[in-house]
Amino acid sequence: LRRSNHCKTNHILKTMKGISYFVFAVQVFLVCNMVSAITKGRITKSLESSVFDFSVDILKVVAQNEGDKLQKNIFMSPTNIFRASLLVYAATSSNTRAQLERALHMEDISTDTIKEYLRKTKETSRTLLEAERLYIDESVDVKKTYKEIVSNGLEKVDMSGQKSKVIAEVNNFVKNITHGMISNVLQESWTPVGNSIFISAIYFKSNWHKLFEKRSTSKQPFFTNEGSEVTTDMMFNKDYFKYYDSDILQSQVISMEYKDPSYTMLVFLPKKNGTQTVETLISQLTPSLIRDTYQFMKSKEVRLSFPKFKTDTEIMLKNIFAKLGVTDIFTPQADFSVMTEEKIQLSDAVHGAKINLDEDGTEAAGYTMMKGLGSAPNKPQPINFYADRPFVYMIYDINKHIPVFMGVMVDPTK
C-alpha cells in the first residue's frame, strides 16, 4: 500500500511553504477495531477508554448541533475521527496539543503509547481491511521524531506540479480499501493549497448471525421525530437475541450480532408512549452505562421489526471541535512543531460516512478530511421490539467494549 515519488519545483516550494492539507479518510461501517493489533493490555485499555469517552462526547455535540429536535439522520465513526485527530495531536505542541489532549481524553497517555498504536500493522481478514497513508510534499521537512511516530506511512509527492497524479493516487487508495464504496475523496476541482494529505482507510462487511428472511420484509409505517408517518421497508425476525429493558435509559436495548462474533449492533429504542426521546437518550449516555447495559443483556425470545436503510451523512467538524474546546489548530496560533518547523494551521475539517443495512448484513464507509493552510425482567412471552420510531444504534466491539460506529435513525426513507 505504500509507494514513494519525489518531485518539486522552486515555484511550488515558494507557494506551498507553510501550507498543509490534511485528509483523514476512510471508514467503513461495521467495524473499525481500532486497536486490534495492540496486544499489550495496558496500552489497549488506555486507548479504549480515550476512544469511548471521545465517542460519546462527539455524538452528544453532533446531536446538539442539530437543534432541540433531530430532523435528519446521523451516522459517523467516532473512532475514525479520533484516529485522524490523534495524528494531528502527535504533530502538535504547547496549547494546541493541550486542547487536543483534553478533547481526546489523552491525559497520561505517553508518546510511546501513541507510537505503539500507530505503528502496529493493520490486520486484514475476510471482514476487515485497514490501511493508512500520509502524502507529503517534497518541500516539507518532516522531523525525525514525527517520522518515528507515523512509522513508514510517509510518501513524498509533488502536490501542485503533479496534481492529477496525486488526486488519482489518493482516490484509488480510498477506492481500493473501501471496495469502491467511497471513490472520490479529492475532486478534480481540488486546489492543492496544502502540502500534506493523510488518508486513513478501513473497510468492513459482515452478514448478520441471524439473517432476516427477505420474504418477511414488508412496507410498514415509521413515525419520525417530526410527528409524521413515512412508509419504509421493515424487516422481521423472531428469534433469541440478547435483550435488556433499561429503566435508567427508559429504553429497550437489543444486540443484533454479526457473523463475525467480535461485533454486534446495539440498538437503543426509547419506549413507546414514554417520555424518553432520542435527544434525551443521547444526553444520558455514558461509556460506563453503555458497557453495563451490554453486560446486563440476557438471551430473550424477541419479535424484532427493524427498518432496512441506507444513510449517507456529512459532518463539518470545525464547529464540533470548537465545542470540544479545540480551536488553535484552525488559527495562526496552531503549533505543529513536533512535525515540522513550517507554519501550519488547518482551514476546515469534514467527516462523512455511509451505511447500507439490509436482510443479509451491513456494509459502510466513511472518511475524515482536514484541510490545512500554511501557517430487564424475564417474561414468558416473546418481547416485541418494533423499531418503528427514532432510535440510537452503534456497532459495538464486544471484545474491547467500545463503539466503533454510532448513529441516530430518525427517518429510514432519507
3-state helix, strand, coil in the chain (%, to 5): 30, 35, 40
- Residue 220's pLDDT is 96
The secondary element (H helix, E strand) that includes residue 55 is: helix 41-65
pLDDT tens track for 128-148? 676 777 787 788 888 999 888
Which of the four pLDDT bands, split at 50, 70 and 90, describes residue 100? very high
- Tell me how far CA of residue 279 lies from CA of 66, 78, 132, 409, in angstroms: 10, 18, 34, 11
Q: How far is Cα 399 from Cα 385, in angstroms, rounded to an integer?
A: 25
Same-domain pairing of 262 and 156: no
Whether 224 maps to a domain, the answer reads yes
Average pLDDT over residues 41-52: 71
Task: Count CA within 13 A, CB hemisphere, residue 16.
Answer: 25
Asked whether residue 38 carries a pLDDT value surpassing 50, the answer given is no
Burial class (CB in 10 A: 0-12, 13-18, 19+), 315: buried
Which backbone phi and psi does 317 adopt, to 5 degrees?
-90, -15
- Tell me how far CA of residue 39 lies from CA of 127, 162, 202, in angstroms: 20, 40, 20
Whether 116 maps to a domain, the answer reads yes
- Residue 218's pLDDT is 97
End-to-end CA distance of the chain: 35
Same-domain pairing of 242 and 188: no
Which residue type is seen at 7?
C
- Residue 284's pLDDT is 96
Asked whether residue 61 carries a pLDDT value surpassing 90, the answer given is yes
pTM of the model as a whole: 0.84
Asked whether residue 322 carries a pLDDT value surpassing 70, the answer given is yes
Asked whether residue 22 carries a pLDDT value surpassing 90, the answer given is no
Average pLDDT over residues 3-9: 40
Range of the domain at 261: 214-309+377-409
- Residue 87's pLDDT is 83
Asked if residues 158 and 166 have their Cβ atoms less than 8 Å apart, the reply is yes
Residues 6+ apart with CB under 8 A from 207: 258, 259, 360, 361
pLDDT tens track for 336-394? 899 888 888 887 787 888 889 999 999 988 787 776 665 433 445 789 999 999 999 99
Average pLDDT over residues 76-83: 86
Same-domain pairing of 69 and 156: yes
Same-domain pairing of 193 and 285: no
| Averaged confidence pLDDT in the chain | 82
Which of 16-30, 65-79, 120-134, 340-354 is most confident? Answer: 65-79
Single out the residue of 191, 184, 161, 183 nearest to residue 347, CA to CA: 191
Same-domain pairing of 228 and 319: no
Q: How far is Cα 270 from Cα 385, in angstroms, rounded to an integer?
A: 11
Same-domain pairing of 258 and 161: no
Strand partners, 307: 234
- Residue 377's pLDDT is 38
Q: How far is Cα 410 from Cα 229, in angstroms, rounded to an integer?
A: 11
Asked whether residue 265 carries a pLDDT value surpassing 80, the answer given is yes
Asked whether residue 248 carries a pLDDT value surpassing 60, the answer given is yes
- Residue 137's pLDDT is 79
The secondary element (H helix, E strand) that includes residue 236 is: strand 229-246
Provide the grid cell at 369.
478530511
Average pLDDT over residues 172-186: 84
The SS3 call for residue 159 is coil
Whether 1 maps to a domain, the answer reads no
Strand partners, 311: 355
DSSP 8-state secondary structure symbol assigned to residue 190: -
Average pLDDT over residues 244-272: 95
How many domains would you assign to the chain?
A: 2
Which CATH number belongs to the domain containing residue 81 in this structure?
3.30.497.10
**Which of the pair, 116 or 339, is modelled with greater confidence?**
339
Strand partners, 22: 370
Q: How far is Cα 120 from Cα 133, in angstroms, rounded to an integer?
A: 13
Which of the four pLDDT bands, split at 50, 70 and 90, describes residue 20? very low
Whether 20 maps to a domain, the answer reads yes
- Residue 202's pLDDT is 74
Same-domain pairing of 280 and 327: no
Strand partners, 369: 23, 350
Whether 2 maps to a domain, the answer reads no
- Residue 37's pLDDT is 33
Provide the grid cell at 297.
443483556
Same-domain pairing of 98 and 194: yes
* Mode of pairing for the β-strands spanning 298-307 and 229-246: antiparallel
- Residue 353's pLDDT is 85
Same-domain pairing of 103 and 156: yes
Same-domain pairing of 197 and 237: no
- Residue 2's pLDDT is 39
Distance of alpha carbon 2 from its chain centroid, rounded? 23
The 10 Å Cβ neighbour count of residue 165 is: 13
Average pLDDT over residues 18-34: 36
Whether 288 maps to a domain, the answer reads yes
**Which of the pair, 20 or 303, is modelled with greater confidence?**
303
* Alpha helix stretches (DSSP H) within 132-261: 144-150, 163-177
DSSP 8-state secondary structure symbol assigned to residue 92: -
**Which of the pair, 283 or 67, is modelled with greater confidence?**
283
Whether 3 maps to a domain, the answer reads no
Q: How far is Cα 282 from Cα 67, in angstroms, rounded to an integer?
A: 13
Asked whether residue 323 carries a pLDDT value surpassing 90, the answer given is yes
Least confident of 67-71, 179-183, 195-199: 195-199
Asked whether residue 6 carries a pLDDT value surpassing 70, the answer given is no
For Cα atoms 402, 406, 409, give the angle at the middle one, nearest 5 degrees: 150
Same-domain pairing of 130 and 179: yes
- Residue 402's pLDDT is 85
Q: How far is Cα 391 from Cα 251, in angstroms, rounded to an integer?
A: 9
Asked whether residue 196 carries a pLDDT value surpassing 60, the answer given is yes
Average pLDDT over residues 233-238: 96
Single out the residue of 329, 342, 375, 3 nearest to residue 141, CA to CA: 342
Greatest Cα pair distance in the chain: 77
Rg (CA), the chain: 22
Strands of 251-390, DSSP E: 251-257, 263-270, 298-307, 309-316, 344-357, 361-374, 383-386
Which CATH number belongs to the domain containing residue 299 in this structure?
2.30.39.10
Same-domain pairing of 241 and 130: no
